[in-house]
C-alpha cells in the first residue's frame, strides 16, 4: 500500500464531495430545464452530469489505488434559480470552487514533491478550467435576465 499524506487524502475526499455535488446539481437542472421546455439546455446539463460523474469515478479509482476508502463527506445543497441564466451563474460558482480546490491540491502536492498526485489533480484542474470557460461562453450567448420576456420559475 502506498503511503499517502493525510492532506492529499483530504483533497481527494473533498474533491469527491464537490464532484458529486456537481452531479446532483446538473442532474436537477436537467430536469428543471425539461420542465421549462428548454430541451437543448436539458441535454447540455445531462452532458455536464456525465462529465462530473466521470470525474467522481476517477477520484474513487485514485482513492482505491492509494488504499483509501472513498467517501464524500459533505455534499453541497442544490442551488436553484428562476431561469437558465441564473442556473448558469450558480454553476459558474460551483466550477470556481472545483477549480480553486484542484489548484490548491496541485500546489500542496508540488510542495511535498508528490508528482503522481500533482499530475492527477492537475489533469482535473485543467478539465474543470475548460469546463468553467465553456459555462462562461454559454452564459454569454443568453439574453440578459432583464431582457427575458417571461422568466421561468423553479418548481422545487
**Cα–Cα–Cα angle for 93, 18, 63, rounded to 5 degrees:** 150
Domain residue spans of the chain:
7-142
Instruction: List helix spans (H) across the chain.
Output: 6-35, 39-65, 84-111, 115-140
- pLDDT for position 10: 95
Predicted pLDDT at 1: 57
- How many Å apart are CA 139 and CA 135, to the nearest integer? 6
Indicate the length of the chain as a whole number.
156
For 96-118, what is the mean pLDDT?
97
CATH 1.20.1260.10 fits 7-142, yes or no: yes
**Distance, CA of 98 to CA of 119 (rounded, Å):** 16
88 CB-side CA count, 13 A: 22
Whole-prediction pTM value? 0.88
Name the more confident of 83 and 145.
Answer: 83
Q: Which contacts qualify for 141-144: CB closer than 8 Å, 24 or more apart?
A: 142/84, 142/85, 142/88, 143/85, 144/85
pLDDT tens per residue, range 58-99: 999 999 999 999 987 788 888 889 999 999 999 999 999 999
Amino acid at each position: 500500500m502506498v503511503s499517502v499524506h493525510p492532506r492529499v487524502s483530504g483533497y481527494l475526499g473533498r474533491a469527491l464531495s464537490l464532484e458529486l455535488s456537481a452531479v446532483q446539481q446538473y442532474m436537477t437542472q436537467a430536469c428543471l430545464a425539461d420542465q421549462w421546455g428548454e430541451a437543448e439546455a436539458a441535454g447540455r446539463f445531462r452532458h455536464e452530469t456525465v462529465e462530473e460523474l466521470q470525474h467522481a469515478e476517477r477520484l474513487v479509482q485514485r482513492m482505491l489505488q492509494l488504499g483509501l476508502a472513498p467517501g464524500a463527506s459533505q455534499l453541497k445543497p442544490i442551488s436553484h434559480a428562476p431561469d437558465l441564466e441564473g442556473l448558469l451563474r450558480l454553476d459558474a460558482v460551483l466550477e470556481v470552487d472545483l477549480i480553486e480546490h484542484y489548484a490548491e491540491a496541485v500546489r500542496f502536492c508540488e510542495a511535498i514533491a508528490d508528482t503522481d498526485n500533482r499530475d492527477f489533480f492537475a489533469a482535473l484542474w485543467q478539465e474543470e478550467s475548460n469546463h468553467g470557460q465553456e459555462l462562461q461562453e454559454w452564459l454569454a450567448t443568453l439574453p440578459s435576465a432583464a431582457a427575458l420576456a417571461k422568466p421561468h420559475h423553479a418548481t422545487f
